[in-house]
Structure 1
């Protein structure tokens, strides 16, 4: 089985630890570091795990929050392989069920 990895995003938690409770608080602080993002972009950055994050934005966040990338991002395994049932072989795969679509009037 392939291990699927995911990320925990702790930006909101780190902001709260530093007394920053509004996402708009980050907009001017990031702009001071050359990262220009709209309020909506910053809101999504704070409230959702980003799928893509520029190194400039990551560096600016770390500078603003006085932290490291390890403080912001938590790597974790999302899918885990299930334990095998007694007598099950490693390559046992359930059979594929095929369905047949019949039009009206066809047997």
Structure 2
């Protein structure tokens, strides 16, 4: 996912992270300067749904405005699939049976 807070805020006339932080505080979300800085400069590693709700309310936007899917990154993370899997079941794993020692029979 691509984090789009800075552009979304700029489209609404918010140019500085300090201004954004004050607006969030007025809406009831107190966050540290460090956390605001990481939200402003890069993608946050974690964001709580409550925080996302307040961001959307302050910016008058929807989560789709802040989070942009990047499907090409998902495809790049997938391991190469073996040709033996076949096209009929994409993503399936080939299972090879193992033959070990036969189990003993219970006494008669």
Relative to the length of structure 2, the TM-score reads 0.65
Quote the Cα distance in structure 2 between the aligned partners of 1:50 and 1:68.
17
Which secondary structure state, in structure 1, belongs to the residue aligned with residue 75 of structure 2?
A: coil
Deviations 1:1-54 (A, max 9, x none): xxxxxx011100011111111111111111122211122211111111112111
More strand by share: 1
Q: Extract structure 1 runs of 4+ deviating beyond 4 A.
A: none
Unaligned runs of 5+ in 2: 77-81, 85-108
Quote the Cα distance in structure 2 between the aligned partners of 1:12 and 1:72.
9
Q: Where do residues 7-22 of structure 1 align in structure 2 (5 Å cutoff)?
A: 7-22=1-16
Unaligned runs of 5+ in 1: 1-6, 82-88, 92-107
More helix by share: 2
Relative to the length of structure 1, the TM-score reads 0.66
State whether structure 2 residue 90 is matched by structure 1 residue 90. no
Looking at CA atoms only, which structure, 1 or 2, has the larger radius of gyration? 2
Quote the Cα distance in structure 1 between the aligned partners of 2:23 and 2:11.
16
Superposed CA RMSD in Å reads 1.9
Which secondary structure state, in structure 2, belongs to the residue aligned with residue 80 of structure 1?
A: helix
Which secondary structure state, in structure 2, belongs to the residue aligned with residue 52 of structure 1?
A: coil
State whether structure 2 residue 75 is matched by structure 1 residue 80. yes
Give, in angstroms, the shift of residue 79 of structure 1. 4.5
Structure with the bigger RCO (C-alpha within 8 Å, sep 6+) is 1
User: Which residue, out of 30, 37, 45, partners 1:51?
Assistant: 45
